[in-house]
A and B are shown apart, each in its own frame.
Chain A
Amino acid sequence: MIGLLSIAIFLPAVLAAPTYLLGRKNAKVAKILGLGTTAIVFVISIMILVVFQYGQAGFQLSESIPWAGSFGLNYKVGIDGISLPLLMIATFLSLLSAAGSWDQITFRHAEYYALFLIFETGIIGVFTSLNLILFYLFWEIVLIPMFFFIGIWGGPRRRYASLKFLIFTYSGSAVMLFGFLALYAWTGTSAYPGGPSFDYDVLAARIPNLALPLQLVVAITTFVGFAVKLPIFPLHTWLPDAHVEAPAPVSVLLAGLLLKMGGYGLIRYNLLLFPKAVNVLWPYFTTIGLITMIYGASVALVAKDIKRMIALTSVNHMGYVLLGAFTATVAGVSGAVFQMFSHGLAVGMLFLMSGYIHDHTGTRNIDELKGLRGKMPQTVTLLFLASMAAMAVPGFANFISEYLVIQGALSVSYLFAIAIVAPALTVGYFLWMLRRVAMTPGVGPKNELRLHSILILVAFLVPLLIFGVYPPPILGSVITPTVEKWIGTIVALGAR
């Protein structure tokens, strides 16, 4: 029986072929099919929202179909309170990014939209799959379109950036795959009845019996794979290059969704599957998160290119996810999930805006953008709002998520008070950027964005403000019940 989730996953990939074949002759057809498909998938995700049972903790809308049963593989998907927010931003950001591509992608439309739809299949699959190999499959499907996006449609250094991105993330995934395969082999011995399996639920039941050294090996190797994507401090160097060189709508996907794959993997696989290993590793992981937060913010402070600055905010903000997740507290993990949701929207808006600004002014250099207020007054207003979201000003969803992460961290150890340096630095570099770009006297003739572009940008703000003012629909009834259940389970199994 094919359910809503499978339709959401495979519809884009299926429609990628007609998009390419029909769009080759006529770019408009490719644009309409690409944007139309993402819109349909968004509608399907709204339907998922409607049928989702709120306040429940287990996996819902599950589907399980035999796939390669002779090797312990089944096609199994399902969502819970951790994956639902990510599924929603996946479909929402894909829609907005496809809409943003309408103006900002100017050549080879058929290939672009076909790859775009394959990317969407991959990203939805990552957030919904409940089988390790299936997860890995979708994880890699995301990689290939991104490689081509950066390499074909990217900026001047696109060749270098695309290859660096591919090699970094593919090597990271190879190490992660080792963890998955080891898990299959080590929980497939005769001590575990039922034979080896890649199934998430089966593994979740078996891993508590796995010896601690083996748990540590798997937890560390999978951590490497997720950490490259997140990214964490020493493994982040692909990110500024990839984000800066990618075309703006693709940067939206990169920062808004691709990084969330790392965060989601850390929570879903690393934190929830290895309670004993988490008990050993959490001080290291949270420290890395802390360093990443502060490092990202410090480097963003000196960035000259506005897009590079936005890229480095991602490093800064994804550090919160790592910190929050490995506090293994309800507040911290809920905050981490919520942070992925709100950061995806805020950074997506900033990236798309940087693309529009570049198209209209011909530059992304912060110093050269002085006086932008005169040219693009409405855009500057939106830039203010997006920066406020990224700075985690109360009233935006980012405030609640960052607050929860720091609350969770402080409840574990007062040493984490140092984390407060990161938001301070974030406010610092955003205000400094705004002072240079927006607070200077306006110059030049007016060259404002067109209405539809403004509307796309405003669409990012709507959920940020709604959930910033009134978070319970997402936090209390979706994220927290699931997190509470899982944290209860893993704490009982020895995670701190």
Chain B
Amino acid sequence: MALLSLTPFLSLAVFGLLATPAGFLRFRNSKLGLAPFVSILGLAVAMVSTVWLGFTSSSPVSFGGLQIDSFTLFFSGVLLIVAMFVAVASLQYMRDDPNKGPFFGLLLLSTLGMIVLAASMDLILLYVGWELMSIPTYALTAFRKNDPNSNEAAMKFFVLSALSSALIVYAISLVFGITGSTGLTAIASALSTAGPDVRPFGVLAIVLFIVGFGVKMAVVPFHMWIPDAFEGAPVTIGAFLAAGAKMAAFAAAFRVFIVGILPFNVDFYSTFAIVAVVTMTMGNVAALMQKSFTRLLAYSSIAQAGYVLMALATPFTTTNVPLGLAGGLFHVLNYAILKTAAFVAAAAIATKLSVRDLDSLNGLSRRMPQTSLSIAVIFLGLAGVPPLNGFFSKVMLFTGAIYSPYSWGGYLALAALINSGFSMSYYGWVIKRMYFDEPSDQSRIPEPRIYMAVLWAATILIFAIGLYPDPWIRLVLSAAAALH
């Protein structure tokens, strides 16, 4: 029966491998082919089994380094929502592309890598998951192979990402050298008794982990690739990178730092706090200066990563409740929904308007009312306006910071709140463009139904989580407790 816990993984692997050959098959009159449906079926099976496991399994199940606990299931749920939204939106976005098979196959395999990353309790497995997640995304970013922007984006992304992988391998080897193990629980117990002679190596390993994960999490100063990659990649893949890959990197960081390195008694907290403040400030300030919608989304996603990073800076309260950690997980969920939806909205605009600069958004509410409304809701959610979902996760994160045992916790929260207030200037500015400015062209643009379905689903989720956050808060609290 324990094998049933592997259903999400198996489903993604099997359907992911099936999707590529299925791309050769097609119904007689359908342009879409079989691959998208195979992959959406695979995602649905994985999603349903994750939810089912979440409700039924009480104790964690381990298969070697693979651990299925509520943290794993939480991240699987989040990442599968992202993959589902991306896959459905890609039905429209990739409609005219002949290579749907590989596209959807790679999407599923990358999702599998992300979930493995969230589930791994062993550093080797973690690295396998990391690469399984990364390699398909390089190909996906470069998917428009005749588009020089897409190629440039993929190249930048690949070089930096490969560097981060190398750093992580180096960090893993250092940790193995100190502790003699790659299992996170064994590492934790070995590090708790580590002598002063190995401390420098341990600190070096921590730095390498921070840099290695930091590139994928796109925290300042390792954020340079993000705006180019998001702009060059197919827009739905931008969503997948921004909400999926980034959050999976956070999952890995949570596993490694909270489970493995916490007992080492090294103050990595203040490092994360500084990086968090710099990241959110830099992201928000740079977002204000952008002229392209996707670049604005990229910088806003950098700022949001800064908020999530606060969870690593202040995971526990003075009473040892994982409030900050839970807030970070909650923000992962909310951010994933909001950012995926924002990119889907960008895809809807990009397929209908050839220009991507912000001027094309002027007066959009008259031309694409549904898209504009959902962008407005998403942006207010990202800014943290209640009763939308982004509000409660931010409240938990910021409270966690004030409530933490560190004297700088209050300053961290204040910096984050001022950032949050400041971020309204560009979110509000985009809303102003859509609703208050006059469009240069008054014509009504038809809004593709598939995108609208995704956007409405996301909007409903945004409101539902925001209006009744209790079950979600309990979910993230239990996921955070599973790490502790």
Contacts and interface: CB of A to CB of B under 8 A. Distances in A.
B472 to A, nearest CB: 9
Given A174-B418, A189-B318, A159 B425 contact: no
A152 B435 contact: yes
A171 interface: yes
13 contacts: A67-B470, A68-B470, A69-B470, A70-B474, A151-B436, A158-B436, A167-B428, A171-B418, A172-B421, A181-B402, A182-B402, A185-B403, A189-B319
B417 interface: yes
Interface in B383-397: 383, 385-387, 391-392, 395-396
Nearest to A195: B319
A70 B410 CA distance: 22
B432 A170 contact: no
A148 interface: yes
B473 A70 contact: yes
A331 B247 CA distance: 56
B425 A167 contact: yes
Contacts of A52: none
B412 to A, nearest CB: 11
Nearest to A196: B403
Contacts of A188: 317, 319, 403
Contacts of B417: 174-175, 177-178
Contact of B399 (A137, A163, A184): A184
Find the residue from B387, B391, B424, B477 having the highest chain A CB count within 10 A. B424
B413 A178 contact: yes
B378 to A, nearest CB: 14
Contacts of A66: 470
Contact of A170 (B396, B421, B469): B421
Interface string A156-190: 00110011001100111111011001101110111
A484 interface: no
A185 B399 contact: yes
A178 B429 contact: no
Contacts of B319: 188-190
Nearest to B477: A70
Contacts of A182: 402, 410, 413
Given A68-B469, A171-B421, A181 B432 contact: no
B399 A181 contact: yes
Given A70-B474, A147-B428, A196-B403, 9 more contacts: A68-B469, A68-B470, A166-B424, A170-B424, A171-B421, A181-B395, A184-B402, A185-B403, A190-B319
9 closest Cβ pairs, A-B complex: A174-B421, A171-B421, A185-B403, A137-B386, A151-B436, A185-B402, A68-B470, A170-B424, A174-B417
A31 to B, nearest CB: 21
A403 B43 CA distance: 70
B424 A152 contact: no
Nearest to B420: A174
Contacts of A147: 428, 431
A159 B477 CA distance: 42
Contacts of A235: none
A141 interface: yes
B398 interface: yes
Interface string A137-152: 1001101100110011
B176 interface: no
Chain A CB within 10 A, most for which of B418, B421, B431: B421
Interface string B432-472: 10011100000000000000000000000000000011100
Contacts of B386: 133, 136-137, 140-141
B470 A141 contact: no
Nearest to B403: A185
B422 interface: yes
B380 interface: yes
Interface string A52-95: 00000000000000111111000000000000000000000000
A307 to B, nearest CB: 20
Given A140-B386, A178-B398, A68 B473 contact: yes
